[in-house]
Chains A and B, each alone.
Chain A
């Protein structure tokens, strides 16, 4: 691991002022905030991340979950995944989020990993993690080893000819379906970003993964007021039963009235280059009977633009069945 200067700022303003001097907040950053460390230290040991300075934000006052004025919830940047998943209001009103978190990583990692850190979780693409291999995300312009290489775990939605890396987060898939908002404080002040706009598609700049600029500190994430009567399911399919990344997953927030779908929010994981909200599947469902035929039609709509690679074509049908089954489970639940 490259050496670095370890700093613990006294408040958020000091942290932001320090971070504003960084050349970039994206891949290759010379300065990183550290909270749980479960992604960052892993990548620093691999020399994929080589920051010259680490700013410890664990002791900043960003660790609370609070009700918002409009009846929603504000989740602090350093709230640990396990605390969020077990928070009574989350289990009651946003159960898809609780389910998604508890199906990710291990109990130990969930005790460490934070809300903001999970938003910035990096891909598990083996070529990104191996500095001996070309990778456009790690080193722009070197090429994508995965397109002609081992790509079974990689994305089928939102890919480009530069990058097909999967976003590995479960938490983010649930937050996409819950229409969360990411709150950022930066050198120019505060701003709020709709969840769907926070992560970027790889396009020609796969090294840019989010809208974050130098000095930007994620302070919290808000959830809108709960949708009364909604049924929520997170279904995750993977190679082993636990402690594994998704091959395909689906987050579903469904409202059914008189046998018909009146509202649907749907996001997919394990198949996209970012947490994959599917307005196509949502539009295909609303006003339709809550039955297997509609659910399959929604799943077809969700995967319409999917592009298979040499080893991951199976993910397209898997994701369809995953979503249809999640919808079925939600509709059948009390």
Chain B
């Protein structure tokens, strides 16, 4: 006899994270804010997202086609802003020092590492993360190709790999595998899925 809840209501890891992300992040930040700030009245509707942090700066980011008016500590990297303030956890933090590429996103259509840039430097700019690329059932061709070619094992570097690969399609890149490997060298995969990643990218380039 099965007594599982109907599969439709079963929370997945992803839906669980999405539902708890914002509140968990807010709780974390509030714990570091002085009591006086915590006692501040709730901001009116339409006020910037995010807690009332001393010295915070207003910044407006257009993320995956949606405008976000935010208040962030000036130290906040674009990566931490996406993950902790906006609760888009698809972008991963690997080394946090520009050495691994896991945090790759697009700013105004170009790929950058989001760990070595500040959120406040991107006021008014267009950010695209893995969540803005495709959706389950309507995957970006690169996402579908990574699936078809097993371009990952643990998956931690995958969103960065895919964001890099999508940007590569618009960059000057020679036709052979060596050219792709060179332009993907900023994305490290500790599982070693490189051969399949290159195959996935080459398939998308051939079909383009």
Contacts and interface: CB of A to CB of B under 8 A. Distances in A.
B134 interface: no
Chain B contact residues: helix, strand, loop or mixed = mixed
A13 interface: no
A10 B125 CA distance: 18
A107 B113 contact: no
B171 interface: yes
Contact of A38 (B74, B98, B185): B98
Interface string A83-118: 000100000000000000000011111011000000
A6 B74 contact: yes
Nearest to A35: B121
Nearest to A1: B75
A5 B73 CA distance: 10
A314 interface: no
A82 B111 CA distance: 11
Nearest to B163: A108
B121 A56 contact: yes
A111 B105 CA distance: 12
Interface string A36-49: 11100110010000
Given A37-B121, A58-B121, A106 B75 contact: no
A109 B115 CA distance: 11
A3 interface: yes
A42 B75 contact: no
Contacts of B185: 106-107, 241-243
Contacts of A54: 74, 118
B121 A108 contact: no
A242 B183 CA distance: 9
Nearest to A2: B75
Interface of B: 55, 57, 73-75, 77, 96-98, 101, 104, 110-113, 115-118, 120-121, 164, 167-168, 171-172, 181-187
19 contacts: A1-B75, A3-B73, A5-B55, A34-B121, A36-B116, A37-B121, A41-B117, A56-B121, A106-B185, A106-B186, A106-B187, A107-B183, A107-B185, A108-B111, A109-B98, A112-B116, A241-B185, A242-B185, A243-B185
